[in-house]
Amino acid sequence: MYRIVTKYTLVGFRDETDPVNHTHHMALKPLPGVPHDFDTEQAALDWALNNHEDMRRYREFVVLPVHHMVLTWRPEEDAPVA
């Protein structure tokens, strides 16, 4: 059996340059040095507020939900049928 587990992560906007087409665009990238598995959106925002020295370089960021499909095991499913 599977279930969906939702965690939250902080990602920042980064300006990227395409050297072939000479174009600029903004991309969402994971922030280095930041935990990527917050249990709630509020926990991610609290971490950002409490670590303002780390977040000073990343002024534009968003909190995104990350959905994980997790395999769960239930012992009653493997029990022999009487």
Closest Cα to residue 68, out of 20, 2, 4, 1? Answer: 4
* Domain boundaries along the sequence of the chain: 2-67
Which of the four pLDDT bands, split at 50, 70 and 90, describes residue 75? Answer: low
Q: How far apart are CA 12 and CA 16, in angstroms?
A: 12
pLDDT digits (tens, 9 = 90+) for 9-64: 999 888 888 888 888 888 888 888 888 889 999 999 999 999 888 788 888 889 99
Which are the contacts of 39, defined by CB distance < 8 A and separation ≥ 6? Answer: 7, 8
